[in-house]
C-alpha cells in the first residue's frame, strides 16, 4: 500500500495478495499498541473479507522488529480515567466485540505472534484459529501490575490452561515464551522468526493448514512444564492470601520469588483476577467471559489503582505504585464482588443473552 507524500501511514496496513488478506498493525514506535481507530479498521477489513470468495485466509502481524502488539494505548486510557471520560469504555466495547468476532471468524485467521504479544495483542491473536509463535515470542497478560484485570478474553483463555498455569500467568503477568504459550493453549504452532516471510508467501497460495505445516517445528524448551507441580499446588488455594502463603512456605526458591512478585501487584486487581479466572471456568462461551470482563474493566477504570498503576509503570516510570487499599487483607470480599455487579440498563456489553452465562 503506497501512501501519498506528506500523509502519515495508516495505523493498520490492509492489503490482499493471492488468496490471503493481510492486516499489519503499524505503530512500531508504540509497539503497535491498539487505538480505537485500529480496532475499527480491523473489523472493517474482516467484514469485507468474510464474504469475499477471493480471500480464503486472513493474516495478522505487527510492523517493526519488536512484536505484534503490546496492548491498548495505555497513556490514552490513563488520561481518560483521570478525566472521568467515556472514551475508554467505548474503545473496550468495540475491542471486545472484535475479539469475539475473531474467535467466530469463518475463515482461517492466522496470527504471527512474534515478539511482544501482551494484553490487547493477545485479544487480536489468541482467539484466532491458527496461532503461530516464534523463539522471540513473549506472550503475557500483565494487567495486575497496573491495577487492572486480564481482559480481551484473557480470563477465558487462561482459565482453560492446564491445571493452575493460567492462574499463575494471570496473577503474576509472567511472560510465556513459545513452548509455554503452546503448553497453556495460547498458541498452536512454533515457526522460527526467520521463516515468517516465507510462510506469509505460502499463505497467499496454499490453504493455511498446509502452509503452516511446511514450517512448523518443535519449540525450544520452556519453563512452565518443570514448574507445574508447585504451581498447581500453590495456586489451587481459594484466596490470594493463601496462594501467597503457600508460595512463601513451599521451600522452592522460584515459588518464593513469585510470592514476592505478587505482593508488588495491586491487591484489588489480584483478588478480582482470581475470582474472574475461577468464574471463567464455569462459563459456556468466550462471549460470556467478555461480558464479565467488560464489567470488571469498567469498574477498574473508576478505581484509583488503574490510574496509579499506569502512572507508576508507564507515565512517571518510578515503578513504585501506591495501591488503595495497600494490602490483601484490606480488600474485602464485598469489594471484590462489587466489580462483578451488573452495569446499569443499556450499559452492558451484552454479547450473551440473560441466563446463558454459566453452565
For residue 123, CA distances in Å to 69, 217, 238, 314 come to: 10, 24, 27, 21
Beta strand pairing status for 109-113 and 130-133? parallel
Catalytic one among 120, 123, 147, 177? 120
Catalytic one among 62, 67, 71, 72? 72
Query: What pLDDT does residue 8 have?
Result: 78
Round to whole Å and give the CA distance between 106 and 7. Answer: 34
Strands in 138-140's sheet, in edge-to-edge order, are 67-69, 116-118, 138-140
Catalytic one among 11, 73, 143, 287? 143
**Which residue do the cell numbers 495501591 mark?**
323
Q: Give yes or no: 115 in active site.
A: no
Query: What pLDDT does residue 354 have?
Result: 64
Angle of CA points 22, 291, 303, to nearest 5°? 105
Among 33, 28, 88, which residue's Cα sits nearest to residue 307? Answer: 88
Beta strand pairing status for 67-69 and 116-118? parallel
**Which residue do the cell numbers 485479544 mark?**
123
CB 215 within 8 A of CB 195: yes
Among 60, 59, 58, 68, which residue's Cα sits nearest to residue 27? Answer: 68
CB 204 within 8 A of CB 19: yes
Q: Give yes or no: 120 in active site.
A: yes
First-to-final CA distance of the chain: 47
- Spell out the per-residue pLDDT of the chain, length 359, in tens: 455 555 678 999 999 999 999 999 999 999 999 999 999 999 999 999 999 999 999 999 999 999 999 999 999 999 999 999 999 999 999 999 999 999 999 999 999 999 999 999 999 999 999 999 999 999 999 999 999 999 999 999 999 999 999 999 999 999 999 999 999 999 999 999 999 999 999 999 999 999 999 999 999 999 999 999 999 999 999 999 999 999 999 999 999 999 999 999 999 999 999 999 999 999 999 999 999 999 999 999 999 999 999 999 999 999 999 999 999 999 999 999 999 999 999 999 999 976 655 44
Name the strand (E) or helix (H) holding 268: helix 267-280
Buried b (16+ CB within 10 A) or exposed e, 193-202: eebbeebbeb
Instruction: Identify any residues that bridge with 34 across adjacent strands, giving them in sequence order.
Output: 72
CB 172 within 8 A of CB 277: no
Q: Give yes or no: 151 in active site.
A: yes
Catalytic one among 11, 114, 151, 293? 151
Round to whole Å and give the CA distance between 104 and 101. Answer: 5
For residue 28, CA distances in Å to 9, 72, 89, 284, 359 come to: 11, 13, 25, 36, 42
Reduced to 3 states (helix: H, G, I; strand: E, B; else coil), residue 16 is: strand
Round to whole Å and give the CA distance between 46 and 38. Answer: 12
CB 32 within 8 A of CB 63: yes
Amino acid at each position: 500500500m503506497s501512501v501519498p507524500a506528506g500523509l502519515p501511514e495508516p495505523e493498520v496496513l490492509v492489503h490482499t495478495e493471492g488468496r490471503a488478506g493481510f492486516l499489519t498493525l503499524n505503530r512500531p514506535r508504540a509497539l503497535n499498541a491498539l487505538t480505537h481507530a485500529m480496532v475499527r479498521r480491523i473489523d472493517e477489513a474482516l467484514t469485507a473479507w468474510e464474504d469475499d470468495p477471493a480471500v480464503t485466509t486472513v493474516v495478522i502481524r505487527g510492523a517493526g522488529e519488536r512484536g505484534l502488539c503490546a496492548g491498548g494505548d495505555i497513556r490514552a486510557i490513563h488520561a481518560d480515567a483521570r478525566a472521568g471520560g467515556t472514551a475508554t469504555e467505548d474503545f473496550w466495547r468495540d475491542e471486545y466485540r472484535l475479539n469475539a468476532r475473531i474467535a467466530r471468524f469463518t475463515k482461517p485467521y492466522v496470527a504471527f505472534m512474534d515478539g511482544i504479544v501482551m494484553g490487547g495483542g493477545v485479544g487480536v491473536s489468541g482467539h484466532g484459529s491458527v496461532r503461530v509463535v516464534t523463539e522471540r515470542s513473549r506472550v503475557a497478560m500483565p494487567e495486575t501490575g497496573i491495577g487492572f484485570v486480564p481482559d480481551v478474553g484473557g480470563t477465558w483463555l487462561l482459565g482453560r490452561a492446564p491445571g493452575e498455569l493460567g492462574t499463575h500467568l494471570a496473577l503474576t503477568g509472567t511472560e510465556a515464551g513459545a513452548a509455554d504459550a503452546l503448553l497453556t493453549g495460547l498458541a498452536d504452532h512454533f515457526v522460527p522468526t526467520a521463516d515468517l516471510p516465507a510462510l506469509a508467501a505460502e499463505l497467499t497460495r496454499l490453504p493455511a493448514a498446509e502452509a503452516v505445516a511446511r514450517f512448523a517445528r518443535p519449540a525450544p524448551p520452556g519453563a512452565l512444564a518443570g514448574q507445574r507441580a508447585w504451581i498447581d499446588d500453590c495456586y489451587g488455594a481459594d484466596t490470594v492470601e493463601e496462594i501467597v502463603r503457600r508460595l512463601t512456605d513451599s521451600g522452592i526458591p522460584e515459588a518464593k520469588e513469585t510470592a514476592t512478585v505478587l505482593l508488588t501487584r495491586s491487591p484489588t486487581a489480584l483478588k478480582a483476577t482470581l475470582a474472574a479466572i475461577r468464574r471463567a471456568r464455569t462459563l459456556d462461551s468466550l462471549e460470556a467471559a467478555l461480558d464479565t470482563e467488560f464489567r470488571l474493566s469498567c469498574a477498574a477504570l473508576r478505581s484509583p489503582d488503574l490510574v496509579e498503576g499506569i502512572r507508576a509503570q508507564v507515565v512517571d516510570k518510578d515503578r513504585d505504585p501506591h495501591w488503595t487499599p495497600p494490602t490483601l487483607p484490606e480488600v474485602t470480599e464485598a469489594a471484590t464482588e462489587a466489580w462483578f455487579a451488573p452495569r446499569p440498563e443499556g450499559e452492558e456489553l451484552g454479547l450473551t443473552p440473560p441466563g446463558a452465562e454459566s453452565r
